[in-house]
Each structure stands twice: as C-alpha cells, then as structure tokens.
C-alpha cells in the first residue's frame, strides 16, 4: 500500500463473515463519535457490508465533524452524517433512533491538564446516551487499560480479571463501563463492553511508533517490553459483528491480536527491513498491559491480517514517507499519565 486511498480501501473491505453477520443484524446502525481514528473506516466498512448483504439498513454517524472534508467524504459514501456536540443534551436527545449503537466517543489524548473534560466524555456522557438509546443494542468501545499490568508469560488478562486501572484516563474508562453497566441493568439494555488494545493502521499505532524510532535512530524504551496489537480493519469488523452478541448484564469482550509481542524483537524486525540498528534503553519490566482475546476468536474467528503483514506494511509505509496522524498510543506509559 502506497496511498491513503489504498489503505482506506483495504481497511473498509468487508469479509464474507462480516457480510453474513450484517444480514443478521436487524435495524439501522448509529455510530456515536464517528470522527475519530477508527470511526470513518468503520462506517465505510459497515456501509459496504450492508450493500454486499443486500439489506437496506442505514449507516448513520454523529460527531462534531471539525473536519468539513470528512463530513462530505462520508456523506458522499452513503453514510448519514450528523454534526453534533454529544455533550449538548438537547442535541443528543434529538438524534435519530436506531436499533444498533456503536459508541466510539471518548477522550484519551491530552488527558493530563484536561481531566474534567475527560471525565465528562468518558463517564458522564454514557449515562445520557443510555437514556437516549435505552431501547437499542449498544457496543461500547472501551480499553484494555482498565486491567492491571499482567505477568509477561500470563497470556494477558481475561475478561474475568478484576479491573485495576492506573491513572485518571484508565479510571475514567472504567467509569464509562460502570455507568453503562448501571443503565444496562436498570433498563435491560443489551450491551457489549468492547475492551480494545491496541488497534493500528499504517498512520498510527504501536508498530509505527517503534518503526519510526528505528528509522530515526532514536532510543526505544523497553520498560513496557511487551504489547498486543490488532489491525484496525479486524477490530472494526469485530465491533460491528458484536452487535449480534449484546447481553444484559453487559458482555465483556477483549479485542486484540493473539501474540504477546516483544518490543525488542519487534524493533529488530524493523531494523532488518529498514537497514538500521535499533537503539535500546532500560530493561523490560516483569509485567505489561496485556489482554487475552481468545473469547472473541471463538465468536468471530482469528484476525484476518497477520502480525507479519502489519510489520511488512508498516516498514514500507515508513520507508516511503507515508502520511502519519501524529497521535501516539502512549503504550510505553506505566504510570497512567496520558
């Protein structure tokens, strides 16, 4: 892949299994927080799957849409886009009804120094959304950051591991889950708590961050010595298909790739591909933020894009100067300061 168009086409190409599941989903789909990193390609993926399935459900999306070009692009694609500040309660309550909600709204980057907004987005808004869409199924984008660090040989946290979030961002994400859970039980709303880490495409993500440091001869901090990743297209597919698995009380579901990846090993792989010698600093801790997503594989099958493919694509993207979003994952963070 050499262009944004090629990348987004790949990210939004529906698999046969997604098309089959889309045919089973009843009713329209509303994506709240459509304008983020993952939302636009998720909406396109859903729209293509609807068309391929021969059904006629609407794909809608609500966001502030500060990027006017994105609003036009998605509208031209056939997605019904609505400009709205979701924290404006009157505007939220006037949004169209939909049987299926994919909730992607939230705040992570710039949490430090703006904690009040982070808590409003991550823990207050879910209550208002739960009231608005009390008759809908809701897939709630959450994060593996709600878990404690796990031993590197553990295989990662399963869904029954007790949350122990580190730092205000992760605490607010657990707050988001708890508020949704409350209304799930109170009103019988069927939900999936979609605990994702770390999604990537070629413009952002753990692999890109490591590859950039290798390419630019910058030291790679090994303190968080291991990580999980998943291709954004696979993560978006799983999110859409999760609409068929919503339950009350809410179903918890980890979403990530199957490998526990050594950051040092990863840097050396990029070193081979970029003809560079990686520079390292610090030593790996005995724990890391790791998730076990085996439950999701039983429901959906394994991710379709392999780790090797992601590494090869990322190295080529960096080598050829592909566009980057400049939004770090902060996957190395051990104190919860985002």
> Is residue 44 in a domain?
yes
Strand-pairing partners, residue 143, are 196
Residue 149 token pair: 């660090």
Whether residue 211 lies inside any domain: the answer is no
pLDDT of residue 338: 66
The answer to whether 31 and 39 have CB atoms below 8 angstroms apart is: yes
Q: Would you say residue 147 lies in a domain?
A: yes
The parent domain of residue 32 ranges over 4-202+230-258+286-304
Closest CA to 203 of 326, 38, 333, 21: 326
Helices (H), ranges, the chain: 4-11, 16-24, 39-53, 68-76, 89-93, 115-119, 125-132, 167-187, 206-215, 232-241, 263-274, 294-300, 307-319
What is the model's pLDDT at position 35?
Answer: 93
For the chain, the farthest-separated pair of C-alpha atoms sits apart, in whole angstroms, at 57
pLDDT, tens digit, 9 for 90 and up, residues 233-290 = 999 999 999 999 999 999 999 999 999 999 999 999 999 999 999 999 999 999 999 9
- pLDDT value, residue 113: 75
CATH number assigned to the domain comprising residue 186: 3.40.50.720
Q: Which two tokens stand for residue 82?
A: 């609505």
Residue 122: Cβ within 10 Å count:
27
DSSP β-ladder status, 226-227 and 261-262: antiparallel
The pLDDT value recorded for residue 332 is 86
Task: Supply the pLDDT for residue 111.
Answer: 59
The answer to whether residue 178 scores a pLDDT higher than 70 is yes
Q: Higher-confidence residue: 246 or 335?
A: 246
Residue at 221 is within a domain: no
CB 192 within 8 A of CB 251: yes
Q: Which residues contact 76 (CB under 8 A, 6 or more apart)?
A: none
Give residue 109's pLDDT.
Answer: 59
Asked if residue 273 belongs to a domain, the reply is no
For residue 266, being part of any structural domain is answered with no
Tell whether 51 is covered by a domain.
Answer: yes
pLDDT value for 334: 84
- Whole-angstrom Cα distance, residue 210 to residue 218? 9
Count: domains in the chain: 1
pLDDT tens profile 62-93? 999 988 899 999 999 999 999 999 999 999 99
Which of 292, 311, 291, 308 is closest to 205 using CA atoms? 311
Do 127 and 93 touch, CB atoms closer than 8 A?
Answer: no
Map residue 61 onto helix, strand or coil. strand
Q: Is the pLDDT of residue 125 over 70?
A: yes
Q: Angle 307-319/206-215 helices, nearest 10 degrees?
A: 40
Per residue in 1-57, pLDDT tens?
999 999 999 999 999 999 999 999 999 999 999 999 999 999 999 999 999 999 999
- Over residues 152-162, mean pLDDT: 97
Question: What pTM does this model have?
Answer: 0.96
The answer to whether 329 and 196 are in contact (CB under 8 A) is no
Residue 110 — pLDDT band, cuts 50, 70, 90? low
Write phi, then psi, for 170 (nearest 5 degrees).
-65, -35
Would you say residue 118 lies in a domain?
A: yes
Tokens of 113: 């120094």
Q: Tell the residue number behind the tokens 């990530």, with chain if given.
A: 256
Q: Mean pLDDT of all residues in the chain?
A: 95
Give the tokens for residue 281. 């600093």
State phi, psi for 304 to the nearest 5 degrees. Answer: -85, -25
Residue 140, both tokens = 């709630």
- 230, two tokens: 């998943």
Strand duo 230-231 + 251-255: pairing: unpaired
Per-residue confidence (pLDDT) for residue 108, from 0 to 100: 74
Phi and psi at 141, nearest 5°, equal -65, 120
- How far, in Å, CA of 117 to CA of 310, rounded? 34
């Amino acid at each position: 892949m050499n262009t944004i168009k090629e990348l987004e086409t790949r990210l939004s190409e529906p698999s046969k299994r997604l098309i089959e599941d889309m045919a089973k989903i009843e009713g329209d789909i509303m994506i709240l927080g459509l304008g983020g990193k993952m939302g636009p390609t998720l909406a396109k993926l859903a729209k293509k799957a609807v068309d391929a399935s021969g059904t006629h459900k609407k794909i809608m999306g609500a966001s502030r849409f500060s990027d006017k070009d994105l609003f036009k692009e998605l509208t031209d694609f056939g997605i019904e886009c609505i400009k709205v500040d979701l924290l404006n309660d009157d505007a939220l309550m006037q949004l169209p009804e939909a049987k299926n909600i994919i909730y992607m709204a939230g705040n992570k980057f710039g949490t430090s120094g703006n904690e009040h907004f982070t808590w409003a987005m991550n823990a207050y808004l879910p209550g208002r959304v739960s009231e608005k869409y009390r008759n809908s199924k809701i897939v709630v984008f959450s994060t593996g950051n709600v878990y404690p660090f796990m031993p590197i040989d553990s295989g990662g946290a399963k869904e029954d591991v007790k949350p122990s979030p580190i730092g205000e961002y992760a605490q607010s994400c657990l707050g988001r889950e708890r508020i949704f859970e409350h209304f799930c039980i109170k009103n019988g709303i069927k939900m999936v708590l979609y605990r994702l880490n770390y999604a990537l495409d070629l413009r952002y993500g753990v692999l890109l961050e490591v590859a950039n440091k290798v390419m630019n001869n910058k030291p790679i901090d090994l303190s968080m010595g291991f990580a999980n990743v998943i291709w954004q297209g696979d993560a978006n597919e799983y999110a859409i298909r999760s609409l068929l698995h919503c339950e009350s009380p809410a179903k918890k579901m980890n979403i990530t790739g199957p490998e526990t990846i050594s950051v040092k090993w990863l840097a050396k792989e990029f070193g081979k591909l970029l003809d560079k010698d990686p520079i390292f600093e610090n030593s790996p801790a005995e724990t890391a933020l790791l998730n076990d997503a085996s439950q999701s594989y039983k429901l959906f099958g394994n991710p379709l894009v392999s780790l090797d493919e992601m590494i090869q694509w990322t190295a080529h993207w960096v080598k050829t100067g592909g566009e980057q979003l400049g939004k770090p994952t902060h996957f190395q963070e051990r104190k919860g300061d985002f």
